[in-house]
Structures are given as C-alpha cells and as structure tokens.
Amino acid sequence: MKSLIPLLSIALPVVGGVYWFLNPGRGPMEDVDPNEKAYVEQIDGRIVLHVKGSGYEMGFQQGALLRDHVVKATTGFEQLLGSFQLETGVPRVLLETALDLVYRLCERHIPERYRREMEGLADGSGADLKTIRRAQVVSVVTERGCSAFAVFGKATKDGKVYHGRNFDWVTDAGLQKMAVLILYEPDGQGNRIKT
C-alpha cells in the first residue's frame, strides 16, 4: 500500500490536469428572449433565420427557434462518430477525446463571440456543448469540410449576388437536410475579430 502512495500522488494531479484541459470552462448563461430580436421565415421552401445581438444571444436565438434542427444535426453528428468507430475500431471515447483535444488546441484562435455563440446554441437548444464544439473542429483533422463562395457587385457581370456551396460530408447522417440560411446582425460588442 505504501508503494501506491507515491504513484497516486503523481497520477491524480496528471489525471486532474488532463480532465481540466479537455473540459474548458464557459461563459455565463444569459437570460435571452429568442423572439425579441430574432425570427424565422420560409423563402422558396428554405428556412431563413434572422438573429441579432451578442454572440451568445445569436446562438441562443438559433438554438431556441430551431431546436429540432439543432437536435437532429447534433444527433446526426453523433451517428457519424458511431459510424467512424465501427469502420475503424477506434473506441468512441478516444474519438471524442481527440476532438476535445483539437478544440482546446484551436480554442485560442476562435474569437470569443464564436465561442459564446456555441454556448448560446447549446443553452437555447438543450444540445450538448461538447458535441457542438467537436462538430466545429472535426474538419481540422478530417477531410470533412465545406467550401463556399459569394460574389456580387463589380465581381459579377450583372451586379447580382451569386452564392455557391459544396457539402463535403458523408450524407448517411442526413446533415444536408438541416441547411438553414442565417442572417447575422451582431451588436458590435465583442464581435470584431482581433488580429
């Protein structure tokens, strides 16, 4: 038993430090009325969400007003992790831990307004914040990423806006069915990207 004490005195702080590192803190929950500054409309069969306010408010508005979409999207992402586990044999806990590590390594490069938006999205929808964070960084370590472009004004022959996007994801989870156009109107408080 005495030989275990030195080992535990080293192992416990290491395990505690790893746990702390992989479970970053978050900002405070805020009282947000999702209908005060935001609304959803359908245009030509497409969902268009208008959000306004701080990063947290806009995330909360999205989560509350499109709760079903957020839950389906996070469930679909979880299914993709399950499929990857079956394909590779890598235990689920290792996949999740790897994505948590990637998030922590990327976190200092993610502006606070976006971190707060993820927190608001989780709080407004009831979805798991860690799952939302993992989904945001999965394209850092896989080929799963999307590309988009928009051109308008002098960049086009007729001055109109043209937008294109590809969906470089496996379609088995149905994430492509969760597409929403979100129009952001940030309030300017903490919304500028600092270089």
Kindly report, residue by residue over 144-184, the tens digit of the pLDDT. 667 778 899 999 999 998 888 776 767 777 777 778 989 99
> Above 60 in pLDDT, residue 70?
yes
The per-residue pLDDT for 195 is: 34
Mean pLDDT of the residues in the chain? 86
Lowest mean pLDDT among 72-86, 91-105, 126-140, 173-187: 173-187
Q: Are 65 and 34 in contact (CB under 8 A)?
A: yes
DSSP state of 169: S
C-alpha angle 25/29/30, rounded to 5°?
Answer: 150
Written as one letter, the residue type at 126 is G
User: Taking a C-beta distance cutoff of 8 angstroms, is the pair 29, 164 a contact?
Assistant: no
- Rounded to an integer, the average pLDDT of 68-85 is 90
Q: What is the pTM of this model?
A: 0.79
The pLDDT of residue 24 is 83
Residue 114 has a CB neighbour count (10 Å cut-off) of: 14
